[in-house]
Amino acid sequence: MSKNLSELSGRKGLDRNLFEELGILAQETGTPSSKSIDDLAEEFLIGSANVYGTTTFYDFLRPENKGKKVYVCNGSSCLTAGKQNSVKEKLQASFGSDQIGEMCCLGRCHENAAFHYKGQNYSGDAIHHLDQVKNDTYPKQEKYFVGSYGKQLLTNVAEPVESFYKLWENVLKATPEAALEELKISGLRGRGGAGFPIGFKLESAKNTPNTTKFIVCNADEGDPGAYSDRYLLEEQVHLVLLGMMIAGYVMGANTGVLYIRAEYPVSIQNTKDAIAQLRELNYIGKNIFNSGFDFDFKVIPGLGAYICGEETALLSSIEGQRPEVRVRPPYPTQQGLFNKPTVVNNVETLANIPYVIKNGGAAFAAIGRGKSSGTKLVSLDGFFNRPGIYEVEMGTPLSVVINELGQGFKSSIKAMHIGGPLGGLVPVSKINDLTMDFESFASQKFLLGHASIVCLPQEYPIIDYIEHLFQFTAHESCGKCFPCRLGSTRGYELVKGAKQGVNMDRVLFDDLIETMEIGSLCALGGGLPLPIKNALTYFKDELAPYFNA
């Protein structure tokens, strides 16, 4: 990461953003032309090689995807459901093979068979109605079950905007310190996987002197199997926006940036519409409610890169740089977007803030278990009898989520990948041993993460899933550190070779994943070993034939 490039990119602020401009240039053909890259580089005083490096990284920009018209989801949930080969076959009847590409997780994990066409997502029975899809007459917004167990903080029926934002007026009448204190009392921790206390982040940024600060919503958490962020942005968007506004007031940030996955087009449009409504009602803008506080939003669509779910890679992405993970310190709260103090939190974390401020930090802290306060959204995939989004109090038994909320499995399941691709691979034998909180999962050497659940049916080979995880990481790695960049590729090669009869050396394999775990800069390379080690522990007999005796 270059501080100079960050400064150069920030010269125009967010009004004319280099990253956003690249996305606009790629809309017609799928990739920007060489001349347009050079022109942008000259305008932003950034070398053409830097801009080219950015362009060739993203799925929605890279030259290899030029001319692609339809994309098949290759996320873990669609993979284990076994429906995507059939989807490709049906698409080939209407599109040439060179017009069909792949995208990672479209958030349609509850019904699978997902694909993307003309900027919209489809799943379930849509593949059987391609004529309607092509004529733009097939419904774009699907339905899924939404339920809860215990307190409802995020899944209640949304309040009318005018009454909901009375809380905003009350916040601005009090001091930033008052809101910060309630957030610290609440114990609210990041819901994206790391579980870091939001109060600590906001206080750090608040205490860093600068006239320009940013609050960033990380809506690029593209964990295959998770669609809770999409639910919030499409059904509860004002929880997220007000959460950002309050966080901005606490830390002294006048701008909220929402970086939303391009794979979630409805989320992007719904968020833009909600922001326009707030602007019309004068809830954002200059001198809000005569408080002297200014605040506004900027929505930036992502362009297809899982690594942008890592907060520092996301900041580099907004700046138009290649989304490489940054070495810390300095931390984003001191030197983040355009080298300014920045707090990055995921969608669900920010959506909890209004409840904390309205009801008090103690009320939030009273929900849940121990240091895992509040509730957690859980995403259940298509292997459940009742897939959907569920809000559960932290500490709820996993068995309740599976058997009562999800109403059990449709077919025989041997494992669940919980918490995204870097989460734990949990055998069904552990269902009664886990509760939905950070500590329970950590104590059993798993990871709660996003709390998405992707099921592996009995007939699905664990070796195939390990191969998929290595391949996913190799494709999504930013390439900055060699343990992740090379380790994921070598792991994929070893597993692929083992499937073809060239058995792996267990000592070498263990050394490889240990190097990735302790040597990688971020949780992509560092987190991949967790589900693999779980597989080696709980499915030792199934994997034994692929290793030397």
Q: Which domains does the chain have, with CATH numbers?
A: 3-65 (no CATH), 70-143 (3.40.30.10), 146-365 (3.40.50.11540), 369-457 (3.10.20.600), 462-546 (1.20.1440.230)
pLDDT at position 440: 96
Contact yes or no for 401/255 (Cβ under 8 A): no
DSSP string, 151-185: --SSSSPPPPHHHHTHHHHHHHHS-HHHHHHHHHH
DSSP string, 491-529: HHHHHHHHHTT-PBPHHHHHHHHHHHHHH-SSHHHHHTH
Give 239's pLDDT tier (boundaries 50, 70, 90).
very high
Using DSSP, state whether 216 is helix, strand or coil: strand
Give 27's pLDDT tier (boundaries 50, 70, 90).
confident
Segment 88-120, tens digit of pLDDT: 999 999 999 999 999 889 999 999 999 999 999
Using DSSP, state whether 101 is helix, strand or coil: strand
- Per-residue pLDDT, averaged over 306-334, amounts to 93
pLDDT at position 9: 83
Give 270's pLDDT tier (boundaries 50, 70, 90).
very high
pLDDT at position 296: 98
SS (H, E, C) 372-390: EECEEEEEECCCECCCEEE
pLDDT at position 228: 96
What's at 476, amino acid-wise? E
Segment 174-196, tens digit of pLDDT: 999 999 999 999 999 998 777 78
Average confidence score pLDDT of the chain: 94
Angle at 150 (CA atoms; ends 149, 156), nearest 5 degrees = 85
CA distance 302 to 266: 13
CA distance 77 to 113: 10
For the stretch 293-296, contacts whose Cβ atoms lie closer than 8 Å and that sit 24 or more positions apart, written own/partner, are 293/172, 293/249, 293/254, 294/254, 295/245, 295/248, 295/249, 295/253, 295/254, 295/255, 295/256, 296/254, 296/255, 296/256
Can you say whether residue 517 is alpha, beta or left, with left for phi > 0 and alpha for psi between -120 and 50 degrees? alpha
Segment 273-289, tens digit of pLDDT: 999 999 999 999 999 99
pLDDT at position 12: 80
pLDDT at position 1: 45
Return the half-sphere exposure (C-beta side, CA atoms, 13 A cut-off) of residue 291.
21
- Per-residue pLDDT, averaged over 337-355, amounts to 97
pLDDT at position 2: 64
- Per-residue pLDDT, averaged over 444-473, amounts to 96
Using DSSP, state whether 432 is helix, strand or coil: helix
CA distance 492 to 433: 32
pTM of the model: 0.96
Strand locations in 381-461, DSSP E? 388-393, 413-418, 424-427, 452-457
Measured from the Cβ of residue 124, the count of other Cβ atoms closer than 10 Å reads 18
pLDDT at position 4: 79
pLDDT at position 65: 83
Length of the chain in residues, anyone?
A: 549
Segment 15-24, tens digit of pLDDT: 889 999 999 9
